[in-house]
Amino acid sequence: MMRVSGLVKRFPGVVALDGVDLDVRAGEIHALVGENGAGKSTLVKALAGIHMPDAGTMTFDGRPYTPSGAADGLAAGISVVHQELALLPYLTVAENLFLRGLPRRAGVVDRGRLRAGAARLLDEVGLDVAPDTPVERLGIAQMQLVEIAKAISTECKLLIMDEPTATLTSREAGRLFGILRSLRERGVAIIYISHHLQEVLELADRVTVLRNGRSVESRDMAGVTAPDLVRAMVGRDLAQEYPPLPDRREGGEVLKVTGLRVNGFAGPVSFSVRAGEVVGFAGLVGAGRTETMRAIFGADPAVAGTIALRGKSVRIRHPKDAVKHGISLLTEDRKSQGLVLDLPISANVTLAKLRGVLLSFTRERALAERLGARLHLRSAGVSQQVRTLSGGNQQKVVLAKWLNAGSDVLIVDEPTRGIDVGAKYEIHELLLGLAEEGKALLVVSSDLPELMGICDRILVFSRGKIAGEVARADFDAERILTLAYSGYLKNGDTP
């Protein structure tokens, strides 16, 4: 269906694709894996017509394929769910889903048909929101499901999915897998990109591995194991998926949240975190985890409750209040809320802590270089525009910004979303190192193994409330999921 030969794409100072070969057949799920910066997203954008290759050839459905823009890709029958969401926030969910072809009657948009069609697609992907809801009111995971629904709404020949489950729970991911298998049976070719190797092992018929902009291996999935993929991706073995927990002693209580309520969620929420402790927050999408963290940081208003730092009540009405009191938030949406994409790395690193009116660019560069080295940041230099970095390296820039702020309380929401196994290990190691230094960490993640791998205890949200707490010695996936579903079940039901 799609054949790529010797594809090359260069950006200033970087060769993103260096002679990539790829062959995707009709009626198969073809996984594309590799570390951040390996070239996966660049390859996807070349296939979609967003990037023009500098060399190489492409054929699609038996014909030469030379798109000059994204419209050519859509016209050819290629549908993409990009890692970067591309929804219009001020339009409704239904309008976003059918923007390419709104149903009309007598020249006017038929709102009844629009809502009915949207409701069908939302039900197919398992998203329980009203079709007339403005997209700006959705969480990042809900937006991801809308993107998926939009992609499957057309009769495409090739469906490309770039990290589609990065913010989804296991339940929602399972629903997506069923949809993909159904499309495969109908003869649709599917390129599936994921850093979750278990998904690749479960779903894919074949796999192509990229490393440093080159295709290093393509093979059938029969007999392939996760360690096989890791070795091909990073060129080395990873002894274990998560770093060993440091031998540390927890200090006194740093953060205490009491009776916190956020608009649209039941609440109240109460918990505390000690110095040197890593507390995880599990739950289904929309359970209130992100909204609670944003309220603590002052990004969203709380309608009730108190926040205390080291025993003293503080009033946080704005993120600048939180930063002043030593609280940082690594947002789940790094592109729109955590970075200024058109600024260089050095400027982004110092955004949260600007000293005085005059800024020394020499000191700024030196600081960015030091933090970049600590985080193993891959770039052409600290003057490189953040927009041109891979997703994993963009996340490292956000981390560097908050390291520079020197906060005592670090809230990290989906810290390794869209990040490869090698970079993920490095970020986990960094987070545990911060805890060892005495920082208090609050980690929100839809990846339950991640929470169980790095946290001291896990608080489980269900329908806006904390349904329970699980200590490290008692970590059990079934127990945590049961708590997560508890607020959505009737008496006597089981998840």
At residue 253, the pLDDT reads: 93
For residue 25, the one-letter residue type is R
For the chain, give the percent of residues with pLDDT over 70.
92
Query: Would the pLDDT of 189 be above 80?
Result: yes
Instruction: Look at 194-208, 334-348, 443-457 and tell me which has the smallest mean pLDDT.
Output: 334-348
Buried b (16+ CB within 10 A) or exposed e, 70-104: eeebbebbbbbbbbebebeeeebbbbbbbeeebee
Determine which of 71-75, 167-171, 205-209, 301-305 has the lowest per-residue pLDDT on average: 167-171
Task: Say yes or no: domain 2-234 is CATH 2.30.110.10.
Answer: no
pLDDT at 190: 92
pLDDT attached to residue 384: 87
H-run or E-run covering 296? helix 289-297
Q: DSSP strand E in 414-478: where?
A: 440-444, 457-462, 465-471
Q: Are strands 108-109 and 206-211 parallel, antiparallel or unpaired?
A: unpaired
The mean per-residue pLDDT over the stretch 398-411 comes to 84
Q: Say how far apart CA 83 and CA 147 lie, in whole Å.
A: 10
Least confident of 58-67, 276-285, 352-361, 375-384: 352-361
Using alpha carbons only, how large is the chain's radius of gyration in Å? 23
When pLDDT is cut at 50, 70 and 90, the band that residue 416 belongs to is: confident
Query: Using one digit for the tens of pLDDT, what is the confidence trace for 77-136?
Result: 898 887 777 788 888 998 888 877 777 877 787 888 888 888 988 888 888 888 889 988
Answer whether residue 355 shows pLDDT above 60.
no
Under DSSP, the state recorded for 317 is S
- Average pLDDT score over residue span 230-240: 65
- Please name the fold of domain 253-486: Rossmann fold (3.40.50)
pLDDT at residue 493, rounded to an integer: 47
Percentage of the residues of the chain whose pLDDT score is greater than 90: 30
Nearest to 474 by CA among 466, 465, 482: 482
Confidence category of residue 234, pLDDT binned at 50, 70, 90: low
pLDDT over 50 (residue 144): yes
pTM, full prediction: 0.59
Answer yes or no: is pLDDT of 455 > 70.
yes
Q: Check residue 238 and give left, alpha or beta (phi > 0: left; psi -120 to 50: alpha).
A: beta
Mean pLDDT rounded to a whole number for the chain: 84
Average pLDDT over every residue of 11-40: 86
Considering only residues 285 and 65, tell me which one the structure prediction assigns the higher pLDDT.
65
Supply the pLDDT for residue 459.
96
Give the residue range(s) of CATH 3.40.50.300 domains in the chain: 2-234, 253-486
396 pLDDT above the threshold of 70: yes
Query: Does pLDDT of 307 surpass 50?
Result: yes
Residue 347 · residue 309 · CB < 8 Å: no
